[in-house]
Structure 1
């Protein structure tokens, strides 16, 4: 089966684990890494067999075209980073500019009704704009945040979301759901605590 994984450190770590665990099983899983928006489009058009890591809230976007494997691949937190210690939630932002990495649905949902948002292609760009004061705040997974710890030592960091991410299979591959669930449950696969600070 051909899966799509998010092309970041988290996606690659989970993808390598999946390929290793399923190497001796049927189905055998192979991972291609790409942006989340592309993998979603490929999943919905049946051009790939599965997509990860995705939140349970992915369900409304895929409807009946995909099913979630009920074993979490990632467990963690989403973090709001600001330069103002008085800001403890997205609701506290007022009119300030909020940076979001394009393709991360959790951050769009966590941003709620905040109007002044900028979508950027990578966290490198998000952090750079924040450090140059072109963004007042941004949302990031805490595992990705670790890469920028030194640069953001004086920033205020507040956990705004906790949850799990899963593998989603295209509907045509639903027949593999019991076997994939069994292998993940019985293997040495450990849920990646990707957002732990």
Structure 2
């Protein structure tokens, strides 16, 4: 396994678990989203024989991909008082996770990209309206990761770049949720 890939997964796991601890008192759904993604990246780190494509076949990594980001979006909208949008985004993640058996490899890939893009765009719009600039930066980073995963660029290792982008996005979301909590509570 490549050293850059190991470092990117360790950093992503550490940031997710650190953000879990920091956001636990802010909103439990956000902490759960960080925890799910942290455990999923730790699982991929421990099982070095999996490649990026094989990770979609495993239920734990699939759940980490399609439920962690909607849980974060759920927390953003719940804290802002929009419970219907929060529930809609969370329902999309749960339906995506439930569709594991009925989708092929390409379908799983597209569902994960669509769920990440929808959550990212919704957090972006909410963050712009509330003036939460950490949320804007996190949404842009997450949207870039979703776009980057959808493209077939081979200049550098796609999973390493995605892990670093997710690390930056999750760290920004952690700061955004903590600042949004002080604005609305």
Q: Relative contact order: is structure 1 or structure 2 higher (C-alpha 8 Å, sep ≥ 6)?
A: 1
Larger radius of gyration: 1
- Asked if these proteins are the same fold (TM beyond 0.5), I'd say no
TM-score (norm 2): 0.26
TM-score (norm 1): 0.25
Q: Which has the higher strand share?
A: 1
